[in-house]
Amino acid sequence: MNKPTLTTYMTRAGIRSNRELAKLTGIACRTLDRIVEDPRRARGYQLDDIGEACGMTAEEVGNLILRG
């Protein structure tokens, strides 16, 4: 079974695009594009903001960055 990607959690939260998530979190669009491509590039505070915006649990955030 494939592990969920950040896009999976965005869809679950009703967030339709990286641009929308960028506005919700205050993270620059280009930075967020890189994070969506590879969540391991994100800094802790960015992961916290993304997790909160997407309604993710701490375990889901952890699994997201460990999937690589």
Boundaries of every domain in the chain? 6-66
Cα dihedral 44→52→21→3 (10° resolution): 80
Q: Biggest alpha carbon distance in the chain?
A: 32
Question: DSSP assignment, residue 18?
Answer: H
Fold category of 6-66 in CATH: 434 Repressor (Amino-terminal Domain) (1.10.260)
What are the pLDDT digits (tens) for 2-53? 788 999 999 999 999 999 999 999 999 999 999 999 999 999 999 999 999 9
What are the pLDDT digits (tens) for 57-67? 999 999 998 87
pLDDT of residue 1: 52
**From the CA atom positions of the chain, what is the Rg in Å?**
11
pLDDT of residue 68: 54
pLDDT of residue 2: 74
Question: DSSP assignment, residue 49?
Answer: H
